[in-house]
Amino acid sequence: MRHLISIDDLTDAELRGIASRGAEFSAGLAAPSAPLAGQVVGVYFAKTSTRTRTAFSSGSLRLGGSLIAYGPGDLQLNTGETTEDTGRVLSGMLDVLVARTAGPEAELRGWAAQDRMSVVNAMGAEEHPTQALTDLTTLVRHFGRIDGLRILYAGEGNNTAAALALALTRFPGVEFEVRTPPGYGLTASVLERAHARAARSGARLVERHDMDDLPEGFDVVYTTRWQTTGTSKPDADWRDIFAPFQVTAELWRTSPGAVFMHDLPAHRGEEVTADVLDGPRSIAFAQATNKMHSAMAVLEYVRAPAAVADPEPLSVRGVRDGLVAAR
């Protein structure tokens, strides 16, 4: 029985194993099995979701589990029951709880303060770990590797950016160039942890608060929508501050081979122009489908860990096992 609340909960081998297993599901190479047979998965979303909620619901059913869905108004949390008491009670009836609270990580740790029910963070205030795992699977499917990729992230230093920084800095040779609007960067805690990871692995993380002097030849350009789910911005003129960080076709002048990724939902004309999101370099919608494949790998990780134990280098698996998508 395991939880997945932060990318930092995972060892390097576990991170690689989940990315690799997600790619197996995505490539249709995972042998049919029902590791969740006889188990019940609760899916509690206090905030809106199209992809993550459906990915974990569909993924649970495909792995043989049964499902109970809770919306924002359903639990007695609303009337003051503590997260610890809620976790304790639900753990007597559920095997997994997938929760999007958009609240602090401590809340999820409260749900996890029992030893029977796995808790999965489907997006909190600090981190969106299952998004980063989806993105690693998408990179494996597209490039057959993660090591050595050069990735530009332009936009808010939100929970998706945080999870990506914590995940990508585990991979040798990765260059993660983060460009965030002033006042909307990665937190000091994420920067400190990600830099420590990078120093150990040989990855590189740079954050700046402008779009000047961009290096050339990125493999990936990534953005997220400017209005992160469950948050609001304190300053009235935030759109002016964000405007220079919009992803446009101009970025492909110096990175012609880059693919475009976006965790979605997107607002065309805000964080990205329509010609980029809907253009030939975009893999954003394949990335969205990979949420389900990655969710299945996460569900196996928390309930059937042997299936995701794969410490082999992803570059070896990607090529040998045909995980790379045809293009």
Residues lying near ligand CP in the complex (CB under 6 A) are found at 49-52, 123, 131, 229, 263-265
Specify the residue, 52 or 223, whose C-beta has the smaller distance to ligand CP: 52
Rounded to the nearest angstrom, the gap between the alpha carbon of residue 288 and the centroid of all alpha carbons in its chain is 11
Specify the residue, 50 or 82, whose C-beta has the smaller distance to ligand CP: 50
**Smallest distance, Å, CB 99 to ligand CP?**
13
Specify the residue, 45 or 307, whose C-beta has the smaller distance to ligand CP: 45
Specify the residue, 108 or 203, whose C-beta has the smaller distance to ligand CP: 108
**Smallest distance, Å, CB 322 to ligand CP?**
27
**Smallest distance, Å, CB 170 to ligand CP?**
21
**Smallest distance, Å, CB 149 to ligand CP?**
20
- How far apart, in whole angstroms, are the C-alpha atoms of residue 131 and residue 138? 10
Specify the residue, 20 or 57, whose C-beta has the smaller distance to ligand CP: 57
**Smallest distance, Å, CB 77 to ligand CP?**
20
**Smallest distance, Å, CB 130 to ligand CP?**
8
Specify the residue, 91 or 227, whose C-beta has the smaller distance to ligand CP: 227
Angle at 156 between CA 230 and CA 123, to 5 degrees: 40
For residue 296, which of 16, 9, 45, 19 has the smallest C-alpha distance? 19
Structure tokens given for 189: 């805690």
Q: Which amino acid is at 228?
A: T
**Smallest distance, Å, CB 264 to ligand CP?**
5
- How far apart, in whole angstroms, are the C-alpha atoms of residue 300 and residue 286? 21
Specify the residue, 191 or 264, whose C-beta has the smaller distance to ligand CP: 264
Cβ-based neighbours of 80, under 8 Å, separated by 6 or more:
none
